[in-house]
Structure 1
Amino acid sequence: MRQILLDTETTGLRVEDGNRILEIAAVEMINRKLSAPERHFHMYINPERDSEEGALNVHGLTTEFLADKPKFADIARQFLDFVAGAEIIIHNAPFDVGYLDMELGRLGLGKFRDHVANVIDTLAMAKEFFPGKRNNLDALCDRYEIDRSNRVLHGALIDCELLAEVYLAMTRGQDSLLIDFAGGDDAAGGAGGRRQRSGSLRIDAPSAEELAAHQAYLDELDKIVKGSCLWRTLEPKSDTVESAA
């Protein structure tokens, strides 16, 4: 799976005020492993305007530094070729996607989502995992004990690298779905043939003792509700007959 961690820096907070992108970084990750640095995309961009004071204090990229850098129109095709068809991971995706939509729209290149497989918003994920807590990138780095000592000013490239670590930490539980069980009798259906393969997942069929314990538990539930518990109504008839045999 090809995923790309993406971040932008802009001249201000509101795209509606005519602000522009002045830095863009896209870090490639293949099968949950970062690619070599030469496979990343990183560009400083001449935004053709000054940064707002608040934004300048955040990223530190002055008008003078950006004056000789390419304009977005000069790098748009290269950028779209890099992200084409990938799954994009962004922290606070509506912000970055809004700016990308604006820049692409100015060039008649459609919407950002038209060019990629889909967009994952790690801020939305974090709000589900940690409701009511601070969920900016700094807070998540601290929560997952990720070193951010090099992040003095916000920069798109370093933010992407930190976001990669945060995303992997947030989705750590998914690793169990990606384990390759190939090799050995245990993976191929050893231990009495109870273990079966379904893609890369493993299904353990219940033993006779486990089935009997399950039925005994349901019997107790039936007594409590003085009838048939909900599970009985959902349980396939064949399973009930086989387990009772």
Structure 2
Amino acid sequence: MRQVFLDTETTGLEPKLGHRIVEIAAVEMCNRQLTGRQLHYYLNPERESEAGALQIHGLTREFLQDKQKFYEIATEFLDFINDAELIIHNAPFDIGFLNHELGLAKLQTINKYSPQITDTLKLAKELHPGKRNNLDALCERYQIDNSRRTLHGALLDAELLAEVYLAMTRGQESLLIELETSGPVFNSTVNMDNLELIVLTASLDELALHTQQLENIERESNGKCLWKNLMS
């Protein structure tokens, strides 16, 4: 199962008002293991960022003016996410901007390339109703180190999101999957007719220690040591 964790930073909140993507990052995971493959670009939005957005990501127009434009990296981006499940925190926001950029580049929308989009914000709200569920809050809840996150950055946020997602979805079923994929495979069929059991008897010293332990339990429990009663 191939999954891609994605994050963007933008000049503002609304693509319909002409706001653009200034940074995009994606990291790849297969079978719940990060592969090391990643995509990361700063992008020239050809406009200023709003003051509120600039406070969040700190990417000035001066820094971005010599960077590539989205349409120049669009094909590489689409190849990277093609046929993978996209996992995004507050997915409608990022997907809205990505579809806007793809439209400007005369390309098809995201759903033509990715068969499934998972919104981890929606998942977090279902798991933790009534609580703060932004990325910082989830990192704190699941004890994930986000001390490097002084400003929002797409690559760091995508990597943190991957860790948060693993923590949120680490149930019994996924644990068994991890054990099956990472551990050795044994034949579970045993012929009991040919099974020879080896019994190791306790030494005198071990028996004495065991008796002493039972006496201690008997004393601390006011005569309610079950094992001592069974042996008497």
Give TM class, smaller chain: 0.7 to 0.9
Change over 3 Å in CA distance of 1:133–1:184 after alignment to 2: same
Q: Distance in 1 between matches of 2:191 and 2:76?
A: 51
Alignment pair present for 1:170 and 2:172: no
Change over 3 Å in CA distance of 1:109–1:188 after alignment to 2: farther
Aligned residue for 2:28, secondary structure, equals strand
Q: Distance in 2 between matches of 1:142 and 1:16?
A: 34
Partner in structure 2 of residue 236 of structure 1: none
Q: Cα RMSD over matched residues?
A: 1.8
Structure 2 residue identity aligned to 1:70:
Q
Higher-Rg structure is 2
Residues 124-177 of structure 1 show CA distances to partners (whole Å, capped at 9, x for unaligned) of 000000001100000000000101100000000000111011000001014235
Structure 2 residue identity aligned to 1:4:
V
Q: Which protein, 1 or 2, shows the higher relative CO under an 8 Å CA cutoff with sep ≥ 6?
A: 2
Q: Is the CA contact 1:182–1:188 (under 8 Å) kept in the aligned structure 2?
A: no
Structure 2 residue identity aligned to 1:103:
E
Alignment pair present for 1:97 and 2:95: yes
Residues 70-123 of structure 1 show CA distances to partners (whole Å, capped at 9, x for unaligned) of 001111111101111111110000000000010101122111111112111100
Aligned residue for 1:172, secondary structure, equals coil
Q: How does 1:1-245 map to 2 (within 5 A)?
A: 1-36=1-36, 39-173=37-171, 174-178=173-177, 179-180=179-180, 183-185=185-187, 187-188=188-189
Between the aligned residues of both structures, percent identity stands at 59
Structure 2 residue identity aligned to 1:139:
A
Q: Distance in 1 between matches of 2:45 and 2:22?
A: 5
Structure 2 residue identity aligned to 1:184:
F
Q: Distance in 2 between matches of 1:6 and 1:157?
A: 8
Aligned residue for 2:118, secondary structure, equals strand
Q: TM-score, normalised to structure 2's length?
A: 0.77
Aligned residue for 2:151, secondary structure, equals coil
Q: Distance in 2 between matches of 1:122 and 1:188?
A: 41
Give the paired residue count.
Answer: 189
Structure 2 residue ranges without an equivalent (≥5): 194-232
Q: Distance in 2 between matches of 1:136 and 1:120?
A: 15
Structure 2 residue identity aligned to 1:46:
N
Q: TM-score, normalised to structure 1's length?
A: 0.73
Q: Distance in 1 between matches of 2:191 and 2:101?
A: 57
Aligned residue for 2:76, secondary structure, equals helix
